[in-house]
Amino acid sequence: MRYESRGSVPPKRHTAFRDNGTLLTEEVMGFEGFSGNESIVYHLESPCRVMALGEFEPIVREEWVPDAHSHHLIDTRQVEPEGDPIRGRRLLMWNSDVEIAICRPTLGQEYFYRNGEGDEVLFVHRGQGVLETTFGTLPYRAHDYIVIPRGTTYRFVANADDELFLTFHTPGEIETPNRYRNRYGQLLEHAPYSHRDFHPPAGLVTHRERGEFDLVVRVRDGYQTYKLDYHPLDVVGWDGYVYPYTFSIDDFEPITGRIHMPPPVHQTFQGPNFVICSFCPRMLDWDENAVPIPYNHSNLQSEEMIYYVDGQFGSRKGVDVGSVTLHPSGLPHGPQPGLAEKSLGMRHTDELAVMCDTFAPLRLTTLAQELDDGKYALSWYENADAPATNGGPAGVTSHV
Ligand SMILES: [Fe+2]
């Protein structure tokens, strides 16, 4: 990220800074102790001030250990809407590096929330609104990735019904790959996005209201509620490199080639031992002998989860918008029977998909079990139902 500033900050750090005569409280929010990125935030009230300690609600994960190790096809369209944009996140799979959930909230967020133990990425499949945050107001809309660093206090204010999010939580840091940046941190010409595509909070609103406000902080694998007697978004100004931002998947510029390009060209973000990739509408491999569909592969250390966002997936049996495929480690995967032949000569795909590859095995929840089609593992068997032969190349060409 680059340096940003909103509101008022004093010309020198760690010097007296007042608002209508009141000495403001300076808070340094930094990663890696004091060696990573940081922002300095100026509050009307001490951010340590709490009126009362509320409930602690542990996070419970119900694991499904399948009887057999296999590939999976999961239909998230069956996930029932419930809850708010925080507690309505329904976990599908997780490991110690990342949690992947679906959220279809039906309720507004009645409290403020802060993730005290991880960074978050929320992919907005449907919906629009704003995030009210410590760092200002962050508008979002469908197809945005919302990246929220830990320590950011925020509240969703939706402007749409029927919102749908794919969410990621990581105890590590969400960042963009170093190979996209020069030694000063500026994004390079060959990166699939530029600084203009990243949108920090649009404006800072300083709340001076008093009253009772609930703040829920995710800590120690649970949700701790605190009662405050002031509005937690009481920031007069801030500056630094740590803040939430949006990036639209529609601004990802695909990197294509004469013959097949490997999945890292789709990489958008990374965390510890995982990456998040964007598969976007693009021209396909243009060599006359190119096989545009991915080769079978045993990427020996990876698990691959893909969420299908948009496109005509009729040529990939059972896959539709809202489907998730999981190709776990230990098994090769690739095109289903007939698809390599069918892909020859294809020059364009309209697919839109979000992929998360992890190095460590992903554990599945009982929700994933409920949504699992139970047949996908056999879809490469030559006598199994053949894939549909109509439809466009989307889903054929994504990183199957
Ligand atoms: Fe793959």
Distance (angstroms) between ligand 1 centre and the Cα of 357 equals: 9
Per-residue pLDDT at 336: 85
SS3 of residue 323 by DSSP: strand
Average pLDDT, the chain: 93
pTM above 0.75, yes or no: yes
Per-residue pLDDT at 41: 98
Q: What are phi and psi for residue 205, nearest 5 degrees? A: -115, 120
Q: Rounded to an integer, what distance in angstroms lies between the CA atom of residue 321 and that of residue 143?
A: 13
Distance (angstroms) between ligand 1 centre and the Cα of 272 equals: 19
pLDDT at 397 over 70: no
Distance (angstroms) between ligand 1 centre and the Cα of 399 equals: 5
Q: Rounded to an integer, what distance in angstroms lies between the CA atom of residue 216 and that of residue 351?
A: 37
Measured from the Cβ of residue 288, the count of other Cβ atoms closer than 10 Å reads: 7
> What is the per-residue pLDDT across 185-223, written as a single tens digit (0 to 9) for each?
999 999 999 999 999 999 999 999 999 999 999 999 999
Pairing status of strand 112-115 against strand 210-219: parallel
Per-residue pLDDT at 317: 64
Band (pLDDT 50/70/90 cuts) for residue 383 is low
Per-residue pLDDT at 398: 59
Q: Are 73 and 319 in contact (CB under 8 A)?
A: yes
pLDDT at 227 over 60: yes
Q: Rounded to an integer, what distance in angstroms lies between the CA atom of residue 166 and that of residue 309?
A: 10
> What is the per-residue pLDDT across 16-33, written as a single tens digit (0 to 9) for each?
999 999 999 999 999 999
Distance (angstroms) between ligand 1 centre and the Cα of 355 equals: 10
Distance (angstroms) between ligand 1 centre and the Cα of 341 equals: 18
pLDDT at 58 over 90: yes
Distance (angstroms) between ligand 1 centre and the Cα of 124 equals: 23
Distance (angstroms) between ligand 1 centre and the Cα of 89 equals: 26
Report, as an integer, the average pLDDT of 392-398: 55
Q: What are phi and psi for residue 361, nearest 5 degrees? A: -55, 145
Per-residue pLDDT at 299: 80
Region at 129 (left for phi over 0; alpha for psi -120 to 50; beta for the rest): left
Band (pLDDT 50/70/90 cuts) for residue 298 is confident
pLDDT at 376 over 60: yes
Per-residue pLDDT at 316: 64
Give the distance, in angstroms, between the CA of residue 192 and the centroid of all CA atoms in the same chain.
17
Distance (angstroms) between ligand 1 centre and the Cα of 334 equals: 7
Per-residue pLDDT at 388: 47
Region at 229 (left for phi over 0; alpha for psi -120 to 50; beta for the rest): alpha
Q: Across the strands, what pairs with 25?
A: 43
Report, as an integer, the average pLDDT of 376-381: 92
Region at 192 (left for phi over 0; alpha for psi -120 to 50; beta for the rest): alpha
Distance (angstroms) between ligand 1 centre and the Cα of 371 equals: 21
CA distances in angstroms from 350 to 258, 275, 367, 398, listed in the order given = 18, 22, 29, 10
Per-residue pLDDT at 86: 98
Region at 33 (left for phi over 0; alpha for psi -120 to 50; beta for the rest): left
Distance (angstroms) between ligand 1 centre and the Cα of 72 equals: 13
Per-residue pLDDT at 390: 44
> What is the per-residue pLDDT across 300-359, written as a single tens digit (0 to 9) for each?
889 999 999 998 765 566 789 999 999 999 999 988 888 888 889 999 999 999 999 999
> What is the per-residue pLDDT across 77-107, written as a single tens digit (0 to 9) for each?
999 999 999 999 999 999 999 999 999 999 9
Q: Rounded to an integer, what distance in angstroms lies between the CA atom of residue 168 and that of residue 170?
A: 7
Distance (angstroms) between ligand 1 centre and the Cα of 181 equals: 26
| Cα angle: 102, vertex 105, 303; to 5 degrees | 5
Distance (angstroms) between ligand 1 centre and the Cα of 248 equals: 23
Per-residue pLDDT at 64: 98
pLDDT at 392 over 60: no
